[in-house]
């Protein structure tokens, strides 16, 4: 068994870039949805907190793959119905951005729970003090609440990020040309599927271990100013 990529390195590299892009953009989308969701879930407004509760319970109770297929294909079909009704041209959602939206929407629910816990871990007086000296709510959140809650949220964020990367490996089932699809094409053409899927597995392993190192560094960074008890 040779270890040559037989000219498929470009294809796999391009696929790796697509996978990384999808994971990172989904992380950004789900991070923002998570922040909004956590604030909604903790708000005094019953509609917001109930809605956010339904969102997190439903999404976290259904497998990500089922949701991906459900949302990806039924949104496209719904859109087709609308364009057909108005006699317009068919609007095709671009697969990469559609995958980002779907993954972001799904993992937004997981981030909501992470951030809800982190929000509650910051003493309430911090936010109250900021509001009391006259900061607008958003600035108080950005300057006072957010930096402090990130310290508690980071382990959960790290965990979610690793899950997002691994779930991004499923997007080839939606027809996206990611690295798993590149490996399938290369493997089928050369009849060395095991080797090419193995290459993809090694790339995933490299991404996840590198992320772990980076996240550990970030955790230390956000823990600056907090002394640990040394026993």
Partner 1 sequence: MIDLIHTYWKSYLWSDGFNLTGLAMTLWLLVLSCAMGFVLALPLAIARSSRNPWLWRPVWLFTFVFRGTPLFVQLLMIYSGLAGVHFIRHTPLLWSFFRSGLDCVIVAFVLNTCAYTTEIFAGAIKATPIGEVEAGQAIGMSTATLYRRVILPSSLRRALPAYSNEIIFMLHSTSVAFTATVPDLLKVAVDVNAATFMTFQAYGIAAAIYLGVTFLLVGMFRRAERRWLAYLQPQTAQTSPRGADARPKEQPC
Q: At its nearest, how many Å lie between partner 1 and the CB of residue 181? A: 11
Instruction: Extract the tokens encoding 183.
Output: 């490996």
Q: Is residue 58 within the footprint of partner 1 (CB under 8 A)?
A: yes
**Identified binder of partner 1 from the candidate list 166, 177, 218, 219, rule CB under 8 A:** 166
The residue among 97 and 159 lying less far from partner 1, judged by its C-beta, is: 159
Q: Is residue 197 within the footprint of partner 1 (CB under 8 A)?
A: yes
The residue among 14 and 142 lying less far from partner 1, judged by its C-beta, is: 14
Residue 24: CB atoms within 10 A of its CB come to: 15
Which residues 60-89 are close enough to bind partner 1 by CB under 8 A?
61-67, 69-70, 73-74, 77-78
Site string for partner 1, 170-189 (x = CB under 8 A): x--x------x--xx--x--
Largest interatomic CA distance in the chain: 72
Q: Is residue 216 within the footprint of partner 1 (CB under 8 A)?
A: no
Binding site for partner 1 (CB under 8 A): 58, 61-67, 69-70, 73-74, 77-78, 165-167, 169-170, 173, 180, 183-184, 187, 191-195, 197-198, 200-201, 204-205, 208-209
């Amino acid at each position: 068994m040779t270890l040559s990529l037989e000219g498929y390195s470009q294809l796999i590299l391009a696929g790796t870039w697509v996978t990384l892009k999808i994971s990172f953009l989904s992380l950004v989308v789900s991070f923002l949805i998570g922040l909004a969701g956590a604030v909604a879930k903790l708000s005094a407004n019953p509609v917001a907190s109930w809605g956010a509760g339904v969102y997190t319970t439903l999404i976290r109770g259904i497998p990500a793959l089922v949701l991906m297929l459900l949302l990806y294909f039924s949104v496209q079909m719904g859109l087709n119905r609308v364009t057909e009704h108005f006699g317009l041209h068919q609007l095709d959602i671009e697969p990469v951005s559609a995958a980002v939206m779907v993954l972001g929407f799904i993992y937004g629910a997981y981030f909501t729970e992470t951030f809800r816990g982190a929000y509650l871990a910051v003493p309430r007086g911090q936010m109250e003090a900021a509001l009391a000296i006259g900061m607008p709510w958003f600035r108080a959140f950005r300057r006072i609440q957010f930096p402090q809650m990130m310290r508690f949220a980071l382990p959960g964020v790290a965990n979610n990020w690793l899950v997002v990367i691994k779930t991004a490996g499923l997007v080839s089932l939606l027809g996206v040309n990611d690295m798993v699809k590149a490996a399938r094409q290369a493997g089928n053409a050369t009849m060395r599927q095991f080797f090419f899927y193995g290459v993809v597995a090694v790339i995933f392993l490299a991404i996840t271990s590198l992320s772990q190192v980076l996240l550990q560094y970030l955790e230390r960074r956000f823990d600056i100013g907090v002394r640990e008890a040394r026993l």
